[in-house]
Structure 1
Amino acid sequence: MARTRVRNSSLLALTLAAGLALTTTGCGGDTGSGSASTAPPASSGAKDSSPVVVATTTWEAALAKAAGAGDVEVIVPQSVQHAPDYDPKPSDLAAVADADYVLYAPFEPYAAKIKEAAGSDAELVEVALDNDADKAKAEVARLAQLFGTQDAAARWTASFDSQYAALQKGLKAKWPQGKRPTVVAQVFTTWAAKLAGAELAGTFGPEAVTAKQLSELSKTKPRLVLDNAHMTTGTVLPDSGAEQVEIVNYPGTDLDLLAVYRQAAKTVETAMAAS
């Protein structure tokens, strides 16, 4: 039976090359709990069975699962709020050694070190992490082409389109006074503004907001500030009257990518009602 596994054990740290440079990107938290088991979906490609995939975080893993991979293992525990901060464990190497594909993001440079140390023949695949609906679907389609699981990905995409449209419709019905809300968003949460059908008046981050930015963003008189849950710089527009909410980017251990959109919709809906 195919497996979807999430590693949460605490082991001795693996010593990797010193001076590894880390850059920042969108970070998030947990949207679910517990691991899920899934049977390998039907494949229209050359592969006879679902590939074994090791993903650095739940975000890459959720994209792989959406693409049709039924055996997915996650390296970075969900308790790690910022993936580049993770120090790989010796047991991670065993998982990589058996993988067909190792999925990582550009801001996780340790992924190549993991594969090299494990002596794995797995194909190392860089994944673009962006919850913009069109970009997420494109990445799912690309991975499905790689895995040979296009039929499963097509089914997921059809479900995604249906649920995404329903979330958009529901949020539009909750617009205050029936008017499109004006928002400002952290650069990695603009997708949530798009989901809400909001008018995006400006962006900030990932660095701290400067005095000039504060002045410019305040002039837009936003109703909502969409902050990044795990890269927050505190209250962005104090005394502006704008409702600030935290948007989560990373799926939970169930690897349900759609849960990220459902949670964002609920968060924004609650904020609109309170603003």
Structure 2
Amino acid sequence: MARTRGRITPLLALTLAAGLTLTATACGGDSDASDGAKSSGGAGGPVVVATTTWEGAFAKAAGAKDVEVIVPSSAQHAPDYDPKPSDLAAVAKADFVLYAPFEPYAEQIKEAAGSDAELVEEKLDNDPAKVKAEVTRLGKLFGTETAAAKWNKSFDAEYAALRKDLEKAWLDGKAPTAVAQVYSAWSAKMAGARIVGTYGPEAVTAKQLSDLSKKKPALVLDNVHMSTGKVLPDSGARQVGIVNYPAQDLDLLAVYRNAARAVEKAMKASA
């Protein structure tokens, strides 16, 4: 059951709308107002507003049924999105507002939330152990521990199956070597790859590129949300675009399935 909460007054809501003349400028995003805050549906339980589908997917996995997302999934680089006044007003009905510290609009979200919603800072990471810990933490906050535990169990089964399938795709039964963008290293771990180097999130220097090329990786696991194009163009490595953000359906498991398919395709192409 959602906890008792206050609401942002009509005057404050009007002030927000008048004072925040923001436009959607997401990289690859959509400025249509209908692409703003969207709900996953459902009734009962806590009302959760999440800045992106990544936070929203964690909330859904933890058992929240009423989840609204501010940044549309069409935004290629979510931190570049500028929330609209209508987006910020969505927090008025929230029990919890989930955000990440690297999002530049986090302060706007916190100001809009006022004292009505409980602000929850998330450390977004698709590493399996961190995902399960975060889902467990949110389940305790939401009062949905049973649902969170059930999801973690299904995650374990899905992840084990994906990893087993990926191992079958190893060339000559040997784990591939990989260079990974720091926020895509989880996909190398899932594939059982041996990480010989990482790069990012800062711009890659010429020396770093030279050093990474010398490692002769079979795979380059790039982060599509922060991609700078072909990372090691002359190395012979196959580059794979890894997507961290779930789609609007907030299915976090789909992120792992999609990454597994992409990595498996690259490994088979290298055979």
TM class, shorter-chain normalised? 0.7 to 0.9
Deviation string, structure 1 residues 170-199 (Cα, Å, up to 9, x no partner): 000110111100000001100000000000
- TM-score, structure 1 normalization: 0.83
1:100 to 95, 117, 123: 95
Q: Which residue of 1 aligns with 2:242?
A: 247
Q: Is 1:229–1:246's contact at 8 Å kept on the other side of the alignment? A: yes
Write the letter of the residue equivalent to 1:156.
W
Query: Following the alignment from structure 1 to structure 2, what is the Cα–Cα distance between the partners of residues 172 and 28?
Result: 34
Deviation string, structure 1 residues 198-223 (Cα, Å, up to 9, x no partner): 00000011223222112211121110
- TM-score, structure 2 normalization: 0.84
Q: What is the total number of aligned residue pairs between the two structures? A: 243
Q: Which has the higher contact order (CA 8 A, sep 6+)?
A: 1
**Which 5+ residue runs of structure 1 have no aligned equivalent?**
3-10, 17-26, 30-34, 41-48
Q: How does 1:151-230 map to 2 (within 5 A)?
A: 151-230=146-225
Write the letter of the residue equivalent to 2:20.
L
Query: Following the alignment from structure 2 to structure 1, what is the Cα–Cα distance between the partners of residues 202 and 65?
Result: 37
**Which 5+ residue runs of structure 2 have no aligned equivalent?**
3-16, 30-37
2:117 to 99, 105, 122: 122
Deviation string, structure 1 residues 93-141 (Cα, Å, up to 9, x no partner): 3310000000000012423323423545001110010000110111111
| Pair 1:106–1:118, CA change in 2 (3 A) | closer
Task: Give the aligned CA root-mean-square deviation in angstroms.
Answer: 2.4
2:45 to 13, 34, 50: 50
Instruction: Give the superposition deviation at 1:150.
Output: 0.3
Percent of aligned pairs sharing the same letter: 72
Q: Which residue of 1 aligns with 2:77?
A: 82
| Pair 1:138–1:28, CA change in 2 (3 A) | farther
1:14 is the counterpart of 2:9: no
Q: Which residue of 2 aligns with 1:233?
A: 228
Q: Which residue of 1 aligns with 2:9?
A: none
- Paired residue secondary structure (1:188): helix
